[in-house]
Structure 1
Amino acid sequence: MKAHINEIFSSIQGEGKLIGRRQVFVRFSGCNLDCNYCDTPQSQNPEFGPVYSEEELFNSVDKLITPDFHSISITGGEPLLHADFIKSFLEKYDFNCLLETNGSLPANLGKIASLINYASVDIKLPEHQSTSNWDKLFKNELKSLNLLIDEEINTYCKIVIMPSTKVGIIESIASKIHDEISDVSNLSMVIQPSAPLDKWVNESKKLFEISQTAGEYLDVLTIPQVHKILRIR
């Protein structure tokens, strides 16, 4: 079994609850969404990058492991488009790993959920223009979150916000997650201000409003993309 992989590299995780951890990033090619804030648009091409077998991927990852290595980040694009490959790889090679997914493919997620250690589910907003059927997308994201929590995977959801993001939409999403997730005590929401951060200079009030509103329903953290501040990949 083989898969197109955009890039493989070692860096410091700059997003979410594993921020600061040294990881080997495996960026799979292809995505089923088209978000307007995407910072790796080349990943949307399913044939971008070389083709790897499971053994070739292991050898590439193994060469990049350093003494401070924490885990692999399985990312994209949308890595769950390659769920069968990932399942086979993780069954053969026992790596601690984080899955970064848009949550739109719960059936594919079910194939590998028991093999991962951490999961970041990117909750899309209607303004991200990633799909014409946002309600269906959000329902699938909720299914993915429930699946991960039922498997007792260390999971958080992430929402990329822009200065134009309305506080009301965040409240609506947070309240629905609270009502429909089986155990919200084991789920955090990461609010991620979109880059560049210069555009937030006069919008700090909104950051506090969004955090406070989401905090009525979920454990909430506001974390920018630290790797961009450090100017690393």
Structure 2
Amino acid sequence: MKTRIFEIFTSIEGEGILYGTKTLFVRLAGCPYSCFYCDTLDALPLDSGKEYSITEACNLIDTSLQDNTYKVNFTGGEPLIQYEAVYELAKHVKARGLPTYLESACFDSKKFLYVLPSIDFVKIEFKTIDSEFIDKKHYPNLIRNTLECLQASIEAKKTTYIKTVISSKTELSSFKELLEQIFKIVSKENISGFIIQPTTSISEPPLEQLLEFYDSVYPYYDEVRVVPQLHKIISAP
């Protein structure tokens, strides 16, 4: 088995419930989608990065690990494109006693289920229709898969949290519809966080809009948080 890795680096986790932790990022190459706010455009081509055998990639992770690293984050691109490789790499990391974290759009529940046993922390990202991740025709199928991933992660008793990226283009009405679907299958006790992440430098939402979105989540989950991307504030990779 081979894998294409765009880069491996240590930085500060800039998103989500583990915001601020020292993290080894394994950025896998390839993503067939293109959100308008994507900040890893160089990693999108399927032939970007460098090809490694699984053994070579595991060795690269081992030599890249620094002292006091809190977790290893598998990101992209879109890591589920290389789901079999992610499973093997994450299994290797767990064998070393380090927590594993999956950063995925959760677009394919079957691939997600394959990877899930080797992952400790799971971010379930719900793409809003304005993200341009996928066209309107296929958007309902994306949400169905993401909901299936959310349910599977909860049933597997993984540390699971939800993230949505909000821009000035995001409509509150469609977001509320999404919330209804999410909280039909989860309760406050099931998840470890709900993060609203505003876009940075492009179509940034004003404070008033963020407060509206916060208020729409609060009746379902009163520990909702608005969390901007820390790594962009501190100029980290």
Q: TM-score, normalising length from structure 1?
A: 0.93
Deviation at 1:83, TM superposition (A): 1.2
State the partner residue of 1:180: 185
Deviation at 1:156, TM superposition (A): 1.0
What CA deviation, in whole Å up to 9, does each residue of 1:188-230 have, x standing for no partner?
2210000028945xx2111111101111223411100000000
State whether residues 214 and 225 of structure 2, in contact with CA within 8 Å, keep that contact through their aligned partners in structure 1: yes
Deviation at 1:81, TM superposition (A): 1.2
Alpha-carbon distance in structure 1 between the residues aligned to 2:92 and 2:67: 22
Structure 1: give runs of 5+ residues left out of the alignment.
none
Alpha-carbon distance in structure 2 between the residues aligned to 1:131 and 1:123: 12
Alpha-carbon distance in structure 2 between the residues aligned to 1:14 and 1:214: 22
State the partner residue of 1:72: 72
Q: Percent identity of the aligned residues? A: 28
Structure 2: give runs of 5+ residues left out of the alignment.
none
State the partner residue of 1:49: 49
State whether residues 167 and 203 of structure 2, in contact with CA within 8 Å, keep that contact through their aligned partners in structure 1: no
State whether residues 117 and 153 of structure 1, in contact with CA within 8 Å, keep that contact through their aligned partners in structure 2: yes
State the partner residue of 1:220: 224
State the partner residue of 1:144: 149
State whether residues 125 and 164 of structure 2, in contact with CA within 8 Å, keep that contact through their aligned partners in structure 1: yes
State whether residues 126 and 163 of structure 2, in contact with CA within 8 Å, keep that contact through their aligned partners in structure 1: yes
State whether residues 33 and 134 of structure 2, in contact with CA within 8 Å, keep that contact through their aligned partners in structure 1: yes
Secondary structure at the residue paired with 2:224? strand
Deviation at 1:184, TM superposition (A): 4.3
Distance 1:177 1:60, change over 3 A: same
State the partner residue of 1:90: 90
State the partner residue of 1:24: 24
Alpha-carbon distance in structure 2 between the residues aligned to 1:43 and 1:199: 23
What CA deviation, in whole Å up to 9, does each residue of 1:44-89 have, x standing for no partner?
2111011122222222222232222011100011101111112223
For residue 161 of structure 1, the aligned residue among 158, 162, 166 is 166
How many residue pairs were aligned?
Answer: 230
Secondary structure at the residue paired with 1:69? coil
Q: TM-score, normalising length from structure 2?
A: 0.91
Alpha-carbon distance in structure 2 between the residues aligned to 1:141 and 1:199: 25
* Letter aligned with residue 125 of structure 1: T
* Letter aligned with residue 153 of structure 1: K
Distance 1:110 1:209, change over 3 A: same
* Letter aligned with residue 4 of structure 1: R
